[in-house]
Amino acid sequence: MTNSPELELIFKSPKHILRRARQYAKKSLGQHFLSHPDIAKNIIQKSGVSSSDKVIEIGPGLGALTIPLSKFSKHIYAIDLDQKLLSLLSEDINNKGITNVDLIHGDILKVPLDPIITNNQFLNSSDGKWIIMGNLPYHISSQIIVKLIKERKSFEQAVVMLQKEMAERIQSPPGSKAYGRLSVMTQYCASVKPLMTIKGCDFFPRVNVDSQVIIINFHKKIPYPVEDENYLFQIIKAAFGKRRKTLKNSLSSSGLAFSSKKVVDVLQQAGVDPQRRAETLSVEEFSNISNLFFKQQSMKG
């Protein structure tokens, strides 16, 4: 990374910080904190964040990523549900004289991202970009990914840490066992690449599975656009709702008001065998099917 300041990490272990504050990691919030400063350094350097970029951080926790990231980015808006942790982080930020971090108390699934970006726009579009970053709580990571997909118009990139199995699922190609709803939704609107793998022992409390950091680059132009994205996402959800069923059966029994005959007609128009299963379809095929169903519904309306 060129023209970047050196990372100066005055690191205290999360265990030490929590014990001193008489706090603990909350299982209900999926709290696991990075316990090695080099990991945060590697994430920042490999992600390519520049001094002109603004970041929305999901779940800053005790600031393992927030503090070093503040040296490399223009501004950070960090969202966390745990007010006690935000208070600890606020104290640490103030003690270090950091002035480019705003802490936001809220549930990431309920906090709209667009107002944050709109209210803090770049003066010129060439000034920098908006990036989403964070170590996503395992129990709501899929919901957060869906949220990012649906709200992606305001930002270009997401650098997120997920359970490795989840990260691999998102990257899986058609025909693979892991290929599913999130794979199609993400690959419809973005390219995904792995950044690094992190061992479970690198967290406090320790976790029993490895994590993976991935970069999601959202397309400025969708390769296989659809008439209505929400409609596409409903089709995808219905198709994978009953994985062992054929497309004919899963779509006609999905509650989307498609008769078995209508499903067969549309699939045949799309050149898709009604006996195939959802995990065998490409993103292009899902897009074509969605557009055909949407056209049928529009004609009916």
Asked if the model's pLDDT at residue 287 lies above 90, the reply is: yes
Strands (DSSP E) along the chain, which ranges?
A: 33-34, 54-58, 75-80, 101-105, 130-135, 157-163, 190-198, 203-204, 211-218
Task: Tell me what pLDDT residue 9 has.
Answer: 43
Contact assessment for residue 38 and residue 11, using Cβ atoms and an 8 Å cutoff: no
Question: What are the pLDDT digits (tens) for 38-87?
Answer: 899 999 999 999 999 999 999 998 999 999 999 999 999 999 999 999 99
Q: Where are the domains of the chain?
A: 14-218, 229-300
Cβ atoms within 10 Å of 173's Cβ, excluding its own: 11
Q: pLDDT tens digits for 237-275?
A: 999 988 788 999 999 876 677 788 989 999 999 999 999
CATH architecture of 14-218: 3-Layer(aba) Sandwich (3.40)
| 53's tokens | 């970029």
Nearest to 49 by CA among 115, 94, 3: 3
Q: Which two tokens stand for residue 142?
A: 């899929």
Which residues fall within 8 angstroms of residue 300, CB to CB, at 6 or more apart? none
The answer to whether 73 and 242 have CB atoms below 8 angstroms apart is no
In this predicted model, what pLDDT tens digit does every residue of 144-194 receive, in sequence order?
Answer: 999 999 999 989 999 999 999 999 999 999 999 999 999 999 999 999 999
Q: 114, 243, 224: which is closest to 169 by C-alpha?
A: 243
pLDDT at 4 over 50: no
Q: What is the rounded distance in angstroms from the CA atom of residue 271 to the CA atom of residue 267?
A: 6
Length of the chain counted residue by residue: 301
Looking at the structure, give the CATH architecture of the domain made up of residues 229-300.
Answer: Orthogonal Bundle (1.10)
What number of CA atoms fall less than 13 Å from residue 226's CA on the CB side?
A: 25
Write down the pTM of the prediction. 0.88
What φ, ψ does residue 95 adopt, rounded to 5°?
Answer: -65, -30
Exposed / middle / buried, residue 114 (Cβ in 10 Å: 0-12, 13-18, 19+): exposed
Question: Residue 164: CA atoms inside 13 Å, Cβ hemisphere, count?
Answer: 10
User: Do residues 83 and 103 lie in contact, with contact meaning Cβ atoms separated by under 8 Å?
Assistant: no
d(CA 178, CA 106): 32
Instruction: Tell me the H-state helices in 37-112.
Output: 37-47, 66-69, 83-95
For residue 139, which of 107, 176, 114, 171 has the smallest C-alpha distance?
A: 107
